[in-house]
Each structure stands twice: as structure tokens, then as C-alpha cells.
Chain A
Amino acid sequence: MNDLLLMCTIAGRDAAIPALRVQTVLEIDDITPIPGTPDFICGLTPLRSQALTVVDCALALGFDEPCSSPDRRAAVVEVDGHLYALMVDSAQDVSEARSDLVAIPGGLGDGWQRAGLGMVETETGPVVLVDIEKIIAGPPALAA
């Protein structure tokens, strides 16, 4: 399994997003907040003539602290015809998975267990591969 992964940091931990699903990585300038939406949805940001829904990955995983990122990087993915910008602490390079997806005995711990597909080995060590759909569904209280 030599899948390409977008290496990023979410809530201070190394994580990976399947790179094939990522259309682009952008630095978000302006976010138009949408009142009334759950916290993990930061708002909308324009990308060319499209409006992206900005999702804070840390909040979506159920952590209390939002993503802390100086340049507000986000990975753009498409789910069911809608475009989302997944905001992460930082986004690094694309690298190859060195191992298959493996489950960790005892689980990944809070939040990660639900939205993580499992662990993969990479050049820089083990990372959690996140499930894009789960992130977009938001933390469990809201997803339920």
C-alpha cells in the first residue's frame, strides 16, 4: 500500500489525510462566519468562484482547543459535491505510506479513535490516517 498522504498536524499530533482526495492546500485569508452553525464549522471562504465550508479539524475531532495555525492552512476536499477546507495546525509535504493501515490495540484515544481510519508508518514515523467523512460530520455529540 503505497498511498500518498498529506502530512499534517491536527491538535498537536501528526496526522495524515489521503492525498488523492485533496484537491489543493490553501492558506485561508478571510472566513465569513456563519452564525448558528456548530463550532467546528468556521464559516465560508471563497476559492475562485466557489464557497468552501471551512472545518476546524481539531474541533471536529472533539478537542476543546481550535486549530492554532499562523498561516491557517487547509486541505480542500470534496464530499458529496460540496467543497470543504479542512483547517489543520500545519500542513507539510505529501509522502508515501510505508505500511498498510493498521489498527492500534487499545485504540487511538479520544476523538482520534472515531475519526481515525488507523495508523500508517511513514518516513517520519507513525501517523493517524483520518477519515474525511467523519471529520466533516463533526464531533459525536453533533454527529448523533
Chain B
Amino acid sequence: MDELLADFVAETREMLEQSGTELVAWEADPSDTARIDTIFRFVHTVKGNCGFFDFPLLEKLSHAAEDALAECRAGRREADPALVTAVLAIIDRIGELADMIEAGEDLVEDQNDIALIAALETDAAIEVQSDVSPVEPVSDEQDDAAPTAAKRNTVQRSIRLPVDLLDEVMKGVSDMVLARNDLARRLREAGEQPTIDGPFERLSAILADVRTSITRMRMQRLEHLFTSLPRLVRDLSSELGKQVMVDFEGGEVELDREMIEMIRDPLTHIIRNAIDHGVETPAERLKKGKREIGLLRFAARQSGNQISLLISDDGGGIDTERLGQKAVAAGIYSQSEIERMSDAQKHQLIFEPGLSTADEVSAVSGRGVGMDVVRANLERVGGSITVSSKPGEGTSFHLHLPLTLSIIATLTVSSGGQNYAIPRSYIEEIVFGSANSVEFAQAGARRLITFRGRRVPCLSLADVLGTEDNERCEWETKTLVLVRLASDDVFALAVDRVHDHEDVVVKPIAPAIMQTKLYAGTTLLDDGTPMMLIDLPSIAQMRGLVGEMRSKPALAEEQSRKKSKDGVPLMLFRGLDGRRRAVRLELVKRIDTVSCEAFDIDGERAQAVIDGRILPLAGLEHGTLPEGRCRLLRLSDGDSELVYTVSEVLDAAEMTEELVVSANDASIEGVTLVEGKPVPLVDGHTLFFKHSAPKRIDHPLKCRIPQDSDWARTILEPLVEAAGYRIAHEDDDDADLAIEIAGNAAPHGPAKETIRLRPDPEDAGDGSIYRYDRESLLAELKRVRTGRAA
């Protein structure tokens, strides 16, 4: 509500400013009807808004002014200077009241207001003639208002700015970032210069902050969108004879203003559908044992540079049977295809164009145009939508939206010696053309690949762009990017190399370049060179890969595959010795490629630095590390992580055959057959047992050590800390353990247990431990710790 109020105040102020010049002009020539019209519109709008907000005083004032002006417009009354003065006084008062509303003060009607209204009366001319009465009280009032005015200044102030200006500032900052990158490169080339590097670092940090703030300027709280929804829901539900309650969560999530406008319509559509088809009538609900009031929930959450928005109702859920029948009736799928579909797949049918489960077309929804348009709109702005539903319990729509319109997550690829960006949202998988799971085939002029039992058409980016002929293309050397379009059409795009993930700011391109239908925009890399963003849907369209090429049998095949082989997913790789091995896919968190410098190998101990963390390194027993760059599988058991060096990552596969357990090799779970060849499966348990670092203890025990002993501080302290203790401070009231050293002052303060150390190796018979008897000391520390922790 506050937001609406702020809007009202801002709007009133804006109109006040605009009408300011009109007022002056009107004063000069009271008979000017065009001016009267403008001022009339202003007071009329204020009156309308006041009624909505319940500000009777404001309404009364504006209503009085409106009446007087209406008389003038109708020609029943002459606009004389007296009337002008009276109207001006009222408009001033409206401005004051708007300030008070903003400051959150109560609007109290006083004598002045009555006088102001009275001054508008035709026969009030005498009263006004004195020329003092309307002016005097106002000045009086201003004196009174002085202290409150000071208070008003503390209110958070906001201004309205044209988006163009923001864009300009944003552009300026982007320029600065590019200039900084350029400077950074030159500084790097020039070598280390502490006097320059310091301030430069600071500049970079400030620039990053400014950039964030500017991005935030474009952001608006989702609340803004949410405030308009209860009304919509109320209107729709009363129209349909249903009762629906709305619940919001995450209104504080911020989203690009333009994005909010873009999702307004899709959201409205989903709400319509939910109320019309989802939520049952109160009687039905009671029969089903639900509360008679339906619930529509909106929950927004930010995760990374995405916003996820969940819209769920507690209605009847999607009728998959009916949806299936409709799909068959509409000729989109055959009966047998529908039968093979899982429920989840059937739910997705609501995104098919021309489908509606409503038998009757109501005024609200059911015309069969809807969810397909909703999906198309969301995907146009880089978002996605999924649906899940449980019969009798409700339906949820899950929307994923990028934070801004102009920043797109992309994958950079190269073709013909040049880099291009591909929107990441379309990319399903990346495979090497040389991988043996990929087979190339030719059907007519069309190149096809077979991958995971699917035959998908394959395009070469170089051919699409016209830089290289298909004839001369060496498919095996290419990297294939599997692209899944919004329409579920899949094709493979062959590129020379895949480089990196990058979030890019997309800029529009000139019409002459747009005409090629190959590019969706351009972006500037950090070093300032432009890179084209490939328009995949358009390319697919041009190559006839959309719609009719849809491989429906492939869908069915995939489905049956899933049913028959419900194997454990594995990741196949080649170890350093060149042998094929496998690891459970669930263990693999990601695949990294690092240079040899990231390794630190010293005898038994091997570690690698990945993303600023030191992780244990495994897989070295199979051979020596290659020169240069090395591929690593990052494995995780949920708590700790380690990296496993491989010479090559092969493919994902499913373990469908029996696992033959090997008794005398603990490093493998066993051997299984993948594509008819034996593959040893790395044992995750052994691996993590051998390599994982002990888990950090969350609540270390406190240990006191003598403060006056150098030996205690430099030698004992690290040992105690490594054993999972924290060194107690003198101010700490209690400690779990104290270590005393014979000959030194005992540690200050109480402790629950004490270990005594002696400087001589000879047993003194007092239960003390020789201070270099590492094993006994660790054993003792462990005993205390486990005893305590238990």
C-alpha cells in the first residue's frame, strides 16, 4: 500500500509541476479555456485518487475546485481574478497536503481549508476582495509548518528519472570498465609497480561498486507487481463464483523494471488459468474436504543471477487424461504416443499450442491460446517455465527469469578463427566429435549424428555462417553443441572449439546485419573486441529444423529406453595410464581443466588448488601428470571434495550390467560391462577414505596453554590446534583443557582437565608426558576431545 501511496504523491507532484506554468498563464488571462481544461484535469485526477485512498479533506478541496472550474467550462461562470486566486490557493494547499502524506502526518481539516472552499463561491467575492484573508492564513500556516517541514526532510526521498538517462550512465560506466581493462593489461605488461598498482586496485573496486549500484537503479521490488494481483484475483474469482485467497512471499526480491513489465502478462494468464481451471467452487472444495477458500501462492526467490517464481494453487490439478484426449483430438500426438508418456510429460502438453482442458470457452480463459504464448514470451526474455501438478492437490508453475533483460548467460565458441556467443539456455550438452559415442551419418544433403540412441540433425556453424563448405568440414575434429530449442527440437551445432561461460551484455545490431537472420545481437568482450551472439532459433528456422523435423519417434524411443534401462549413471574416463575407468556420476560435481602449476605434489601428499581452495588430488597412482593442462574430475561425497586426475573425460553411460566385485582390489567397487567392454568402477568409499581431509570441527574445544613459554606458543600451539582445539584466551571464563609445562607458570584460569608436560624424557612418575612424545600427547588430546564431545 505504501508503494501505491508513494506513487500517488509522486504523480500529484509531477502534475503540480506541470500545471505550474499553466496556472501562471491562466492568471494572466483567466478566460483562456485551454488552461482551465488543464487545471480541471489536474484537480479531477487528484479528486479521483483521493477517493481511492480515503483522504476526505483532499477530496473535499479538489472537489470544490473541480466544481468551480466545471462551471467555468460550461460557461455558467466567468473566470475572474478572484476565482483564479481561490483555485491557486487550493492547488497550493494540495501540494502541502501531498507533502504531509509523504511524511506520514495526519491530515486535519482546519479553518483555512473551509475558508479556501468558501472563497470559491460566486458570492464570496466580497470576502476575497479584501485580498488578505486567503493569503494571510496560508502564511500563518507556513509558520506553523516550519518545524514539520524540517522533519519532512528526513523522509527518504526519491526522484523519477528517464530510463534513457540511466542507460546513458550505465553505458558510461561500461566504457570506464573497458578503459580500466585496457589499463590493467598495460600495467601487467609493464610489470609490478607498487605505487600505481595500489591506487589502481582501489579504482577497480570503486568501479565495481558503482557498476553494482547502477544496475540496482534499474531494479524494482517484485512487490510492485504483487500489489496489483489481489485485485485481479478478487475480480476473477467473484466473476467465476469462487473464493480465492492470495499469499505472497519474497516481495522484496528485486528485478529489472523492464523484466517486471515483461512478465506481467504471462503472470496474469497463469492466474486466470489457475482460478478458472484449477481452483474448484466452494461447494466442490467442501465435498473434497478442503477449505472452501482456495489459495493461490506466489513465492519469489533470487538464486544467483536468476529469479525463480513459483505460482501454485491448491485446486484440482491438471487432468492429464483429458489433456491427453485433447491432444489426440487436436492431432498433436497419436493415442499410442500419449499412452507412452509419463504424467510429467503429459503436464507439459498444456504448453502445446491449441490445447485447452476447458470444454466451454468462458470469458476468462479456455480459448486455447495461452500457455504456449506464455512460454514463448518468457523464453523470449531468456526465462523458462515448467509445470508440476498432483491430481486433487493443485498445480505449480515454476518460472525462472534472468535478473536483467540485457545480460545473457552465454557459451563462447569459435569457428573459422572467430569467437561467437551462444545463449546458454538453449544448450543441452557438449560432446566432442571424436568421442566414440558419436556417429556421423548422412541422409541426402543433411548431416546427422547419432548420440545416445537419438538421431539428430547436425549443422556446422562455419557452414551456416558461410565461412566454410560442408564438404571440407572435418566433423571428427569439431566440438558438437547439442541445442534444444523452446519447441523441443534438438539439433547439433558443430563448432571448432568451446571456450568458456560468459555473462554478456547484449547490444542491438544494425538492420543490415539483422537481415542475415544469423545473429541476435552483439557484445563487447573485456578487451573491447566485439563478438556476435548467434540467433539459434532463427538459424534452426532457416534450416527447416523447427516443427516438421520434430523427431517424435525419438521421443518414444527415449521413453522406452528410460523404462528398460534404469541403470546407475556412470561417468567414463581414461586414467593417466590410458585405461578406461568409470566413476558414479553422482559423485562428480564438475569437470575442471587446470594447468600443472595448480598442483602441489610432495611425496605421498598431493594437492591441487581449484578456485582458491586446496583439494586433495587422487588418481596419481595410475601414471604421471601430463605436461601443461590437465583434466580433473571434482568429486564430492556431500561433505568433502577431492579432485581426480584423468587424461580424458569420455562420456556418461549407464551401468546396466552386473557389477562383478573384485575382492583383492579395494580401490575399485568392481568391474562392469559398458558397451560390451569391461570397465573398472572406482570405489568412492575407498577414495574418500584415503584422500579426504578430516572434517573441520565446528565447535572446537578450548585449551589453555602457558602464555609465558615460547615453546608453548611456537611448537605446542600448532599441534593442539591441529588436534581440533582452539587456544583459549585469558579472558575466557572456562576451558576444556589446560596444558601445564613443568617449570613454567601454570596457565591462568580454570579448566576441566589438565595435561602435564615435562621437559625431560625420563618418566617422572607423576603422569606427565615428555613434551616431545608426540604420539602420547596426541593420544591424550584425542582422549579428552572424544570424551568431551561424546
Residues of A within 8 A of B (CB): 30, 32-38, 41, 44-46, 48-51, 53, 55, 80-82, 84, 136-138
Known: A35-B416, A82-B511, A138-B512. A48 touches B178 (CB 8 A): yes
State how many angstroms separate the Cβ of B166 from the closest Cβ of chain A. 15
Contact B510 A82 (CB under 8 A): yes
* A34 to B508 Cα, complex, angstroms: 14
Q: Which of B174, B507, B512, B532 contacts A136 (CB 8 A)?
A: B512
Contact A82 B508 (CB under 8 A): yes
Interface-centre pick from A41, A44, A80, A137 (highest chain B CB count, 10 A): A44
Q: Determine the residue in chain B with the shortest Cβ distance to A55.
A: B512
Residues of A within 8 A of B507 (CB): 50-51
Q: A53-B513, A80-B511 are in contact. List 10 more A-B contacts (CB 8 A).
A: A30-B529, A32-B529, A32-B532, A35-B416, A49-B177, A49-B528, A51-B507, A51-B522, A81-B508, A84-B510
Residues of B within 8 A of A138 (CB): 512
Known: A32-B531, A44-B522, A46-B530. A53 touches B174 (CB 8 A): no
The 4 nearest A-B residue pairs measured at CB: A35-B465, A44-B530, A49-B174, A53-B510
Q: Which of B466, B509, B512 contacts A35 (CB 8 A)?
A: B466
Complex A-B: 28 CB contacts under 8 Å: A32-B530, A32-B532, A34-B513, A34-B532, A35-B416, A35-B418, A35-B466, A35-B467, A35-B518, A36-B465, A36-B466, A37-B512, A41-B510, A44-B530, A46-B528, A48-B178, A49-B175, A49-B177, A49-B524, A50-B507, A51-B507, A51-B522, A80-B511, A82-B509, A82-B510, A82-B511, A84-B510, A136-B510
- Please tell me if B171 contacts chain A, counting CB pairs below 8 Å: yes
Count residues of B near A (Cβ-Cβ below 8 Å): 28
* A38 to B512 Cα, complex, angstroms: 8
Interface 1/0 per residue, B156-181 and A, CB below 8 Å = 00000000000000010011011000
Residues of B within 8 A of A81 (CB): 508
State how many angstroms separate the Cβ of B397 from the closest Cβ of chain A. 36
Interface-centre pick from B467, B507, B530 (highest chain A CB count, 10 A): B530
* A53 to B174 Cα, complex, angstroms: 19
* A138 to B529 Cα, complex, angstroms: 25
Contact B171 A49 (CB under 8 A): yes
State how many angstroms separate the Cβ of B54 from the closest Cβ of chain A. 45
Known: A51-B507, A53-B509. A46 touches B516 (CB 8 A): no
Q: Determine the residue in chain B with the shortest Cβ distance to A35.
A: B465
Contact B513 A37 (CB under 8 A): yes
Residues of B within 8 A of A33 (CB): 418
- Please tell me if B573 contacts chain A, counting CB pairs below 8 Å: no
Interface-centre pick from A36, A45, A82, A136 (highest chain B CB count, 10 A): A36
* A33 to B518 Cα, complex, angstroms: 14
Residues of B within 8 A of A37 (CB): 512-513, 516
* A136 to B512 Cα, complex, angstroms: 8
Interface-centre pick from A35, A41, A53, A84 (highest chain B CB count, 10 A): A35
Residues of A within 8 A of B510 (CB): 41, 53, 82, 84, 136
Residues of B within 8 A of A45 (CB): 530
Known: A35-B466, A35-B467, A36-B518. A46 touches B512 (CB 8 A): no
Residues of A within 8 A of B530 (CB): 32, 44-46, 51
Q: Which of B509, B516, B524, B528 contacts A36 (CB 8 A)?
A: B516
- Please tell me if B519 contacts chain A, counting CB pairs below 8 Å: yes
Q: Determine the residue in chain B with the shortest Cβ distance to A82.
A: B510
Q: Determine the residue in chain A with the shortest Cβ distance to B420.
A: A35
Contact A49 B522 (CB under 8 A): no
Interface-centre pick from B175, B464, B509, B532 (highest chain A CB count, 10 A): B532
